[in-house]
Chain A
Amino acid sequence: MEIINQSTSGTLESSDIQIILGPNKQGIDIDIRSSVQKQFGEHIDMLIRKILSDKMIEHAKVLVVDNGALDCTIRARMETAIYRSIEGNQRVEWGVIK
């Protein structure tokens, strides 16, 4: 998949994560600001890289403001951002996304 336009998902509420995903010239750049940076910062970085690579995304800029979201929340917010970012390029069938 290719990230075409910038998209946002999530909120700044506690236990949520806000993701701003956009195109990047070369590679994956991730900037994380997390309330649990010291304990889970690296883990969140790795999780986001894994989600991107699972979707075959090679170039992306990700800005993350995390307020202690669990992994399931991070996955859901990332996927939403990804599909929003590729819209316009291809039509996303939101009803069939697993």
Chain B
Amino acid sequence: MMNKVKREIPEEVRGNNKLFAGVNTDCKVVQRAAPKVRPIKLGEEKLVASIEEVINKLNLCDNMTISFHHHFREGDYIINLVMDAIAKKGIKNLTIAPSSLTNVHAPLVHHIKTGVITNMTTSGLRGELGEAISNGVMKEPVRLRSHGGRARAIEAGDIKIDVAFLGVPSTDLYGNANGVKGKTICGSLGYAQMDAKYADQVVLLTDTILPYPNTPISIAQTDVDYIVKLDKIGDSEGIGIGATRFTTNPKELQIAELVKEVITKSVYFKNGFSFQTGTGGAALAVTRFLAEEMKNNSIKASFALGGITKPMLTLLEENLVDTILDVQDFDKEAAISLGQQERQIEISASYYADPHNKGAAVNQLDVVILSALEVDNQFNVNVMTGSDGVLRGAIGGHCDAANAKMTIISAPLVRGRIPTIVDRVNTVITPGESVDVIVTEIGIAINPKRRDLIASLSDQGIPIFTIDALQEKAYEITGTPKPIEYEDKVVALVEYRDGTLIDKVLQVKQ
């Protein structure tokens, strides 16, 4: 049986999950899960000398689920340090449930091969780890979830965390932690807040201990079992790697210019509008271009959302944006600013994007600009697998934010010899149903169901094509790529944000 985006999910890997049936969730009432709590005794201290000692205290054993956050992105030391210590203890068959994984987590491949890790859920897989999983190193398929989808899964008990190992830039000795003070700051701890609230046991790992009470309180003492002091928990510079390129690439600038045109000529560009931009050269340039137009037209935005970057701070400082809702910081400047700017507010992953709470911030979004590895002529978007079928991306908040009033996907028509607009994306992450405009360097395509946008953006000097025409133009340049060959084995399942299955990733053929 096919799901709504015409993908087949084999019965034997489906488990209890329903198939994707559309962006509107049909879930009526949710029973939330709750953690077990071991009350802290009077006079009890939480500081433990080492990771090894805390593992003993936790009674960490086979088959447990442990979690991490990825606020340090490419600068994270915690996951590798903790997993190495766990492996040395001889513990096996763990499920790891980090909010995401990056290139620095390649050492996990070894722990998979030796049976320490046998199950995994994450938002991203890159580098050697992505390649190993695409080549079938794991027996069980990895569960890929968006940031909103992970928050939902934790709240619903789909992910039941036994122990959360959370790296925090600073904490006091009783567990009040934040990401804006300390030696190695990361800014928002929005993803980690889910783990702190729902894990049975919570361990904070830090390189900076501050006097009690350490404020602001992003993670509260009421949720923390143990604290471990390390020499260094990460590298703040690694937060921005790959995200904050200041582009001079004419193709990206042309795309950014067209995105700006689409936004400013739409009905959404008015006082009080809201927006989210992703990372990458074009998205950052859009923020800059948009700022100019806002000044010229005396338009001020009510809020900006999502992963926060330096160009966004400039808008806040120039009073072009009222409030930044900050679930994650994509560079050191944004992380520092969270500690200083009153109008930059830390929010949790649930507040940001969870489809099964009483209203997430993404529901309030007017305009979002997102990137893509591939878009197909049904407007489905892939941000997870490369053109060779190998896992090398991250869902992030892509499908969460894509339900904005106007969802813009910016992507070059071709990358080298690889067409970006294709007839069938390798993996559906965000369904075309929620995508409105595709912007390439030669022009835009508007989802036919958005007749209002077609009417309002026509005759405005923006080149408009059908999505099929864009695809033909891409193939004219590159030639028609041979479809990727796969084995039968499912290496990953893609959950849509509401927990339904939207696609699978198969093992690539060697």
Mask, A3-43, CB within 8 Å of B = 1, is 00000000000110000000000000000000111111011
The contact string, 1 if C-beta is below 8 Å from chain B, for chain A 56-98, is: 0000000000011111000000000000000000000000000
A40 touches B479 (CB 8 A): yes
- Contact status B477-A36, CB under 8 Å: no
| A36→B484 contact, CB < 8 A | no
A residues engaging B (CB < 8 A)? 14-15, 35-40, 42-43, 67-71
Identify the 9 closest CB pairs spanning chains A and B, nearest first: A68-B416, A39-B481, A68-B417, A15-B416, A38-B388, A36-B417, A39-B482, A38-B484, A14-B416
Residues of B contacting A70 with CB < 8 Å? 417, 477-478
A22→B241 CA distance, assembly (Å): 42
CB-based nearest B residue for A73:
B417
- Bound-state Cα–Cα, A43 to B483, Å: 13
Residue pairs across A and B with Cβ atoms less than 8 A apart, 9 shown, are A36-B416, A38-B389, A38-B485, A39-B482, A40-B479, A40-B481, A68-B415, A68-B418, A71-B479
Question: How many B residues, CB 8 Å from partner?
Answer: 14
Interface pair A43/B416, CB less than 8 Å apart: no
- The one of A14, A15, A40, A69 in contact with B482, judged by C-beta atoms closer than 8 angstroms, is A40
B505 nearest CB across to chain A (Å): 15
Q: Is B102 an interface residue (CB 8 A)?
A: no
Within 8 A of A (CB), among B377-433: 387-389, 415-418
Chain A residues closer than 8 Å to B416, beta-carbon distance: 14-15, 35-36, 67-69
User: Does B477 contact A39, Cβ atoms closer than 8 Å?
Assistant: no
Contact partner of A15 among B387, B417, B484, CB < 8 A?
Answer: B417
Residue of A nearest to B484 (CB): A38
CB distance from B117 to the nearest CB of A (A): 28
- Complex CA gap A71/B484 in Å reads 20
Instruction: For B417, give the chain A residue with the smallest CB separation.
Output: A68
- In the bound assembly, the distance between CA atoms of A43 and B484 in angstroms comes to 14
CA–CA, A42 and B481, complex, Å:
10
Q: Give, as a whole number of angstroms, the nearest-CB distance from B164 to chain A.
A: 39
